[in-house]
Structure 1
Amino acid sequence: MCGIGQVPDPAEEEDVHATDAVFTSLLEDSAEELYEQAPCGYLSTLMDGTIAKINATLLEWLGMERSRVVGRMRFTDLLTVGGKLYHETHFAPLLQMKGEASGIALDVKGAAGRMPVLVTSKVKTSEDGEPLLIRTTVFDARDRRAYEAELLRGRRAAEEARRRAEADRVRLQEALAVLQQSLLPSELPAVPGMEAASHYHTASPDLLGGDFYDLFPLDADRWAFFLGDVCGKGPQAAAVTSLARYTLRAAALHDPDPVNALTTLNTVLHDRYSRGEGRYCTVIFGVLEPADGHVEVHLASGGHPSALIQRVDGSADYLPTPGGMLVGVLPQAAFSAARARLCPGDTLLLYTDGLTEARTGPDRVLYGDEALRSFITTQPARGPQALITALTGLLASFGDGLDDDTALLALGVPAPFTAPRSDDLT
């Protein structure tokens, strides 16, 4: 650049003139040449569709001579059968109503076969608003159509993969459900002079739970029961569940004392899993001994939530078993024993902590032991099955706040039947 008072550099002025000349040459392309060699197709048609003008680009795509097209063919003659049908049913009516149509996908009969294009047309009118001709731009959509086809294939493949995955998931859930049922009694046996009911809630159909329970005879006069919760989920928890069930059954037949049965289970679990990843559980094991008009209960707990007794008078209280240790953690463990008497109309409830550790309300507050006791007191003392039915409804009310498996076992003595009084029927 020249400063004030400086003489312009002749070489610099020559470069500027040369650059201007290049730009001038580029800008001197005629409008006709720009029309003919445009990167898209152009054509103009009369209102009846007769082609009045067409550029070289579109002729090259079609593989046709200008003399065969102009004045001799209509725009629809360039289209495939499907393209003609779409033109008549959609494109032409839209153009007639709005005077323009933009980005319409059609197929033309190209030199190498069917060619996908995107067509935009606009009606040119006179100063009086009379339609004169239709100007149309045709864009090559082969790359776009190939991309869309590839995208569609990808979507179909993804959908097929999703369907296969969902089918595999359903089969897995069915297999897990069968395996889960094999870890629980198919039905509870009938205990003379007593009623029994149970329920098992699975938090996730994709995982095996570790909750378990059972009820079985020891001899002609006594029955054993247990309910427990294995730490963890999945196949490893299922293996511990199976081992715990069969160990407790065998231990009870050898020595039915609840503390001794849990001690045997503790020894088996600790010996089996202490050298690898630790596996343990919480369990309540007990013995029922029906007597004259009532049932004596002797049970022991290994780190499990306390059993709860619903009395015939509507009250409900926990049967404390403090100090019971987890089963399988230490080579020697202490277990807490307790005794109770079930009279007619009383029900003993055992449950796993999925019930009391459910989250409730918008603040996801822990449900807790006291809330459970209060709930039981609101339920009429109508026996184990009525209590289990009420608790099943309670579990359902937690919704997604119930994120752990829950096992329920209720054992009770039927209340004597009392005929309704005549004034109750009026």
Structure 2
Amino acid sequence: MCRTDQSVPEPGEGQDVDATDAVFTSLLEDSAEELYEQAPCGYLSTLMDGTIAKINTTLLEWLGLERSQVVGRMRFTDLLTVGGKLYHETHFAPLLQMKGEVSGIALDIKTAGKQRMPVLVTSKVKTSEDGDPLLIRTTVFDARDRRAYETELLRGRQAAEEARRQSEADRARLQEALAVLQQSLLPAELPAVPGMEAASYYHTASPDLLGGDFYDLFPLDAHRWAFFLGDVCGKGPQAAAVTSLARYTLRAAALHNTNPVNALTTLNTVLHDRYTSGEGRYCTAIFGVLQPDDGHVEVHLASGGHPSALIQRADGSSDYLHTPGGMLIGVLPKATFTAARARLLPGDTLLLYTDGLTEARTGPDRTLYGDEALRTFTTTQPAQGPQALITALTGLLASFGDGLDDDTALLALGPTPLATPGVTT
């Protein structure tokens, strides 16, 4: 083996074992001291009163102090900011006294430039063999990167929270605007009709979307009144545009020709011509004319693809005024609509509704509510006029909960109910 004179002899090669052990012990001591002084974290040892007895170079460089300024002259708390001292006295020191060790406590130390430096501190009490406390060994970790990360995280969280608040405010403004626009597509209130009572209700499935259901009641002349209720396919601005067009078309058509079939035919022509070149738009509707007479109301109506009107009779029975064969409005250039007539006596109520009511999902198996269930429900309600029936149906809709996922419009019409004997108003 070739080696120079400066190499360390192996045991048994010209050097005794004790000398070799001394060399290696010296090397280990130098290495341990170097690791202590130049460690990537700060180290210090203090007496039990906090006086600093030993401190490594790393921590001195962070503080910008000389060893002679610190050892035996300063206490650990002298290295802390005012807030750090307060936290040390109220939390850190009591925990260390109770447990003998604390780990990862966030504090701030003061550097020579009077700057705050965030650190994480771990301290442990070293005891004698008899259990008596001798000194406190403390490790100080640089937490500037962590503090910067936490600050950035907090900033991001604050930005996200502000964005959420702004989004909620924008959504609230949007819902308010949509509600105003939705109301503009419906009569603000139903007019008073001599000798009759009228009531309505509109359920919005989503405050974020414009619905396509519509209804109206208005005079034709001194003796007759027109009414309609319909449902436009789809939701949103496009459906609202069709709703507005349908509503005003039916109003205008009724002033020129009061025949219900002619009114729906006019609407069919307008919708088909308006949307035939693009995405097709269509609706269902019932249009009718009321003529109050001596103690009763004559009804003449026509339907285009809409659920049949329901009549609640004063004798407690209920049945549909069937209008089979009425076609969807706006799909074909020529459409067929079905007309029907009825006479409403005092206590009778004519109910028009959109399919959100009968297509609601009920029960654990989410079955359709259906036409027969609606007829049965109406039969069980006291025949006390349109407003009483609308009130009962409003409660029914509320009972569906999330099973009612479509807009629903209700319109009830009938002769003024007879006064109940013994009851004054």
Same fold (TM over 0.5): yes
Which residue of 2 is the match for residue 393 of structure 1? Answer: 395
* Sequence identity (%): 87
Structure-2 separation of matches of 1:376 and 1:122: 80
Which residue of 2 is the match for residue 51 of structure 1? Answer: 52
- 1:176-206: CA deviation from partner (whole Å, max 9, x where unpaired): 1111101100000011111000001111111
Amino acid at match of 1:292: D
Q: Calculate the TM-score normalised by the size of structure 1.
A: 0.91
Which residue of 2 is the match for residue 125 of structure 1? Answer: 127
Amino acid at match of 2:388: A
Structure-2 separation of matches of 1:238 and 1:184: 11
Structure-2 separation of matches of 1:388 and 1:141: 67
Q: Calculate the TM-score normalised by the size of structure 2.
A: 0.91
Which residue of 2 is the match for residue 226 of structure 1? Answer: 228
Q: How does 1:5-404 map to 2 (within 5 A)?
A: 28=28, 30-112=31-113, 113-404=115-406
Amino acid at match of 1:40: C
Structure-2 separation of matches of 1:143 and 1:88: 26
Aligned residues: 399
Deviation of the 1:394 alpha carbon? 1.0
Structure-1 separation of matches of 2:377 and 2:132: 83
Structure-1 separation of matches of 2:392 and 2:32: 86
5+ residue gaps, structure 2, are 3-23
- 1:270-323: CA deviation from partner (whole Å, max 9, x where unpaired): 111101111110000001111221111111000001111111122111111111
Amino acid at match of 1:385: Q
Structure-2 separation of matches of 1:371 and 1:93: 72
Structure 1 residue runs of 4 or more that deviate by more than 3 Å after TM superposition: none
- Provide the secondary structure at the position in 2 that maps to 1:164: helix
Amino acid at match of 1:195: E
Structure-1 separation of matches of 2:402 and 2:146: 46
Amino acid at match of 1:322: P
Which residue of 2 is the match for residue 7 of structure 1? Answer: none
- 1:233-262: CA deviation from partner (whole Å, max 9, x where unpaired): 111111111111111011111111100100
Structure-2 separation of matches of 1:407 and 1:324: 20
Structure-1 separation of matches of 2:338 and 2:355: 18
- Provide the secondary structure at the position in 1 that maps to 2:342: strand
5+ residue gaps, structure 1, are 1-9, 12-23, 422-426
Structure-2 separation of matches of 1:363 and 1:141: 58
Deviation of the 1:127 alpha carbon? 2.4
Amino acid at match of 2:174: L
Amino acid at match of 2:108: D
Structure-2 separation of matches of 1:43 and 1:417: 96
Which residue of 2 is the match for residue 14 of structure 1? Answer: none
Q: Cα distance 1:166–1:80, how it changes in 2: closer, same or farther (>3 A)? A: same
CA RMSD of aligned residues (A): 1.7
Deviation of the 1:131 alpha carbon? 1.7
Amino acid at match of 2:300: H
Structure-2 separation of matches of 1:162 and 1:172: 15
Amino acid at match of 1:251: A
Q: Cα distance 1:165–1:418, how it changes in 2: closer, same or farther (>3 A)? A: closer
- 1:156-193: CA deviation from partner (whole Å, max 9, x where unpaired): 11111111111111111111111110110000001111
